[in-house]
Amino acid sequence: MSSADEKHVVPPDVEKDLPAPLVEAMRKGDVLEELLKHSHDADEAMKAFASHQGTIIEIDEATNKRLLRKIDWNLMPILCVVYGLNYLDKTTLSYASIMGIKKDIHLVGDNYQWLGSMFYFGYLAWEYPTNRLLQRLPLGKYSAFNIIMWGLVLSCFAAVNSFRGAVAVRFFLGVFEAAVTPGFALFTSQWYTKAEQGTRTGIWFSFNGFAQIFGGLVAYGIARGVRLHGSSIAPWKIVFLLTGLLTSCIGIIFLFVMPDNQMNARWLTKEERLLAIERIRVNQQGVGNKHWKMYQLKEALADPLTWAFVFYGLVSSIPNGGISNFFSQLIISFGFTPEQSLLYGTPGGAVEVVALILCGWLGDKYHNRLLVATSGLITAMLGMILIVALPLANSGGRLAGYYLTQASPTPFVALLSLISTNVAGYTKKTTVAALYLIGYCVGNIIGPQTFRPKDAPRYVPAEITIICCWGVCLVDMLFIYWYCKRQNAKKALVRGQPHYVKLENQEWLDLTDRENAEFVYTL
């Protein structure tokens, strides 16, 4: 074989991980032509640059920092508040469970467990359709619509007087909240560089913890106020009305504040809009593409990384589904009163906030979100072991164990940020995000069923199940770390081929992470 022939050989271990058309093009030396097939359907960012008639756009460090501060101040506060309400609205049922709802709407047997799961049936049913709509419709406006609607639905819980009515409200609550997490992941990927995404995702997700603190204090205040002064309506109804109407009001603000992308951000000048796009060129992902691409769907379904994400979303959510719906009752089982449980649950939110922000920052600082995030999982496992191992009389030690379990979301958030960072191609990204959250739904449906009434007050089988799930998740995290490192090594071989060509504006061609040899997976 001549040297001219040899330069078109693709190493076999690299070839099996690349799309077939791209492999064939590399063999012929026609990589340029193969990639250009996608340019007619490029990212929205390509259109912005195509209409720009000015000089070459360059960003110096001072301009980048100034622009980042402006983006942070305009986006992060509203993302944080809404995501906190997203968690609070799901967990109002836990507060209501010890404020009289079980008696008032005649819950018997495992009715409460099914109410906990029903939210995720709605979430599951609408997760994939809502991801398609997030791609197809204006991102900011569609997200705002869902926020307003879930607030109104939650308010309707105050009018429920039967199990069937509660089931309907919980189902539709799940339908409208299904857009929030994938939508926020898309916002993060379109506005921030890879090096910034882990910290920002950790910050807005950490408002789950702030919501737990806020919700616990509000529920405690309402319960205590009603006990001392009475009320014309049940205290649990006040909780639903307050959180639901507050959410809808914030949703209206979100509608006017949150842009769909950089091109219609009112708080950026025309020049700053182009700069905001240019600064994320390094992501190799663009800002969005409204066209559905079947080949990207197929690639997502055939990618082992997709199913490693989905597996983690499923298994890690079994503990989450149990703890988030039963934490008030779990604290009561430690020997505290229902009113005390509302107050004593709040420090768990502080643990979650610190764990998420710290791990997100350290992950970006040391360029290793995966291994840093496993520390939160190990901490949570230690906490649950304390709950299982300590005697019932040691209420303080078991309560401390519960607080440690609140570090468990750190790997879930790390993987959520890595879907933004490590999955390219807009159809592929929305597909992987949908599948990840479908796994999350299934796990959260299973979770409440592990807390069986007959196991009270210790719930030992549920607690052992949680420990086992987190152990399996730890192994899955290590696999994802190994797989991403392996793919990066293979891409380096592709870029080293003599005939390899990088296109101008290749970043805006809406290529998938596997198609684009310039794409480097973040660890």
Q: Which is nearest to 508 in space by CA: 131, 138, 136, 40? A: 40
Q: What is the pLDDT of residue 287?
A: 61
Please determine, for residue 13, whether its predicted confidence score (pLDDT) is greater than 60.
no
pLDDT at 100 exceeding the cut of 80 = yes
Distances (CA, A) of 333 to 343, 346, 391: 15, 16, 12
Mean local confidence (pLDDT), 26-51: 53
List pLDDT tens digits, range 235-267.
889 989 999 999 999 999 999 999 998 888 999
Tokens of 366: 């040391």
What is the arithmetic mean of pLDDT over 357-367?
89
Q: Closest Cα partner for 181 from 228, 230, 143, 140? A: 143
Return the biggest CA–CA distance within the chain. Answer: 92
Q: Is 70 exceeded by the pLDDT of residue 508?
A: no
> Does position 149 have pLDDT exceeding 90, yes or no?
yes
CA atoms within 13 A on the CB side of 259: 18
Poorest-confidence range of 109-118, 141-150, 232-241, 294-303?
Answer: 109-118
Residues 98/412, Cβ–Cβ less than 8 Å:
no
Report pLDDT digits (tens) over 424-469: 888 898 899 889 989 988 998 888 888 887 877 777 888 899 999 9
Q: Which range (43-47, 117-121, 502-506) has the least confidence?
A: 43-47
Confidence (pLDDT) at 241: 93
- Scored b (16 or more CB within 10 A) or e, 64-89 reads eeebbeebeebbbebbbbbbbbbbbb
Residue ranges of the domains in the chain?
61-283+297-495
- Check whether 275 has a pLDDT greater than 90: no
| Among the listed residues 351, 354, 332, the one whose alpha carbon sits nearest the alpha carbon of residue 403 | 351
* Segment among 99-108, 247-256, 317-326 with least mean pLDDT: 317-326
Residue 57 has pLDDT above 90, yes or no: no
- Please tell me the distance from the alpha carbon of residue 151 to that of residue 229, in angstroms, as a whole number: 28
Q: Which residue would you say has higher pLDDT here, 301 or 48?
A: 301
Q: Give yes or no for residue 1 having a pLDDT over 70.
A: no
- Summarize the confidence of residues 488-493 as an average pLDDT: 89
Fold of 61-283+297-495: Growth Hormone; Chain: A; (1.20.1250)
> In this model, does residue 229 exceed pLDDT 90?
no
Confidence band of 154 (pLDDT split at 50, 70, 90): very high
Please state the rounded mean pLDDT for residues 382-404: 90
**320 pLDDT band (50/70/90 cuts)?**
confident
- pLDDT exceeds 50 at position 381: yes
Average of per-residue pLDDT values in the chain: 84
